[in-house]
Amino acid sequence: RTGPVAILAQDVNSPQVESSLFRLRSALFFVRPMLRCQALTRVAVRQWVTSTPPRSSLLAARWASHDSVSVNEVRKGQVLFQGGEYWAVKDWQPAKQGRGAASYEVTYDELITGKRGGSHKFGSGTRVTLVVLDKNDCEVMYTQGEGSDKVVVIADVDFNEMEIPLTRFHGISPKELNEGTKVHIYTDGETLVQVTLR
């Protein structure tokens, strides 16, 4: 007879038993590393899944920076974070009256509300927060909703979608936001600061 029962019934020192045991040991020699490799792979995948944040928005990559600088160093085109607002500097002028301390007047546009032509006077040496915003290249997919609830759905190059209220497209006509329109999205962490046409 053949099979496991027949082998066990034979003398353990028989050539057949020794040959079977050799084949079994050879198989285990190759199987054990494979099982160990599979276990390590499962652990690695589990760690990657738990440690990698979901890419559910356009704000996944965060490279925006905040730096404290003297107002003397501020220049046109920079963005300041002042009093919870984001100011796009349009002009910067030093001023001094008589023997008084010098001051600096900054003219700016507020980016989140779209308000233009604001101005603020700083004393010499005042420190302000300079912001370098993240910039994402996106494309309009479609619009939805009506009236004040209307939103524009955009997507980045990895097809991550984001809904932006139409009211955040300052100075941009709804007619310009057709499917396929290219836009720039400027963010500071999770905060959407500005939307412009590319």
Q: What is the pLDDT of residues 78-93, one digit of tens each?
A: 999 999 999 999 999 9
Q: Is the pLDDT of residue 154 over 90?
A: yes
Q: What is the pTM of this model?
A: 0.66
For the chain, what is the mean pLDDT?
Answer: 80
Grade residue 147 by pLDDT with cuts at 50, 70 and 90: confident
Look at residue 176 in the predicted model and tell me its pLDDT.
Answer: 93
Largest CA distance in the chain: 117
Which residue type occupies 184?
H
Helices (H) and strands (E) in the chain, counts: 2, 11
Sequence-distant contacts of 112-118: CB under 8 A, at least 24 apart: 112/85, 112/86, 112/168, 112/193, 112/194, 113/85, 114/170, 114/171, 118/87
Instruction: Round to whole Å and give the CA distance between 106 and 165.
Output: 29
Q: Give 105's pLDDT tier (boundaries 50, 70, 90).
A: very high
